Copies of this chain bind each other. A is one copy, B any other.
Amino acid sequence: MTDLPREPLTDADAVRLRSAALFVPLPREALAALLGEACAAVAEPFRVLFEQDQPADHLVVVIEGVVGVMAAVGPHESCLVELIGPGQVVGEAGLFDTGRYPVAAQAITGARLALIPAAALRECLDTHAGLRRHMLGFLSSRLRVLVQQIAQLKLMSAPQRVGSFLLGLTQRRAGRQTIRLACERRIIAGMLGMTPESLSRSLRQLRDLGVQSQGKRDILVEDPERLRAFVAGITE
């Protein structure tokens, strides 16, 4: 892990970590023991958390803020593949096979993180069957998300991908709602595999479907169902 300023975990941190999806099956004492070996860190925007191929010595849990997962394809180019929010985890793929992070991670917004030593996590996995299964399930669901993303990149147009992204933020609530973007639009664009210009034009095109930019960070979705129909290709 790069030289992040570290501090002890606070009680408030522990509370928020308890509700992280990954730790749900862990009994209270076991989580406490695990967190006993962990520490907190604060990263300013754009701060690199770890580089690709660096030894994977910690699991990073996002307590607050947004962290980006960056994959490199050549020596000079890399791109944003995932956005990781509070309660989610980054770096897990490096812990179990090569021992090196397969991707880089970077804070997108300012972020507060929990750093869990790899050794402690592995030990915890060996002693708690529940966490083990959960971890397998967790990795599986990550696979699911990535596969879906690949399919979307191949099959959907830019406006459809934008629509799909927005629907992912309208948490299963139906009806008119406003979405707050967690980060700048240029970042979102990279995440969706397009330029900021294309994102802008795509949003403009979605206005006919009741999607309106409201200021810089908010987007109003009038009718998620209509948007969903467009994304599914009913319209075209």
Looking at chain A's contact residues, the main secondary structure is helix
A97 contacts B by Cβ under 8 Å: yes
Whole-angstrom distance from the CB of A167 to the nearest CB of chain B? 12
Q: Is the C-beta of A172 less than 8 angstroms from some C-beta in chain B?
A: no
**A77 at interface by CB-CB < 8 Å:** yes
Query: Are A151 and B93 in touch, CB under 8 angstroms?
Result: no
A93 CB contacts on chain B under 8 angstroms:
140-141, 143-144, 147
- Give the copy number: 2
User: Is B96's CB under 8 angstroms from A154's CB?
Assistant: no
Inter-subunit contact B147/A103 (CB<8 Å) = yes
Complex alpha-carbon distance, A143 and B96, angstroms = 11
Q: In the complex, given contacts A102-B140, A102-B147, A153-B154, what are 20 additional A-B residue pairs having Cβ atoms less than 8 angstroms apart?
A: A69-B147, A71-B148, A71-B151, A76-B233, A77-B155, A78-B151, A79-B151, A79-B154, A81-B147, A81-B150, A92-B140, A93-B140, A93-B143, A93-B147, A97-B137, A97-B144, A135-B136, A136-B139, A139-B140, A146-B147
Ranked 3 nearest A-B pairs via Cβ: A97-B137, A71-B151, A96-B136
Q: List, sorted by A's number, 13 A–B pairs whose CB atoms are closer than 8 Å.
A: A71-B151, A73-B151, A74-B155, A77-B155, A79-B154, A81-B150, A81-B151, A82-B147, A93-B147, A125-B136, A143-B146, A150-B150, A154-B190
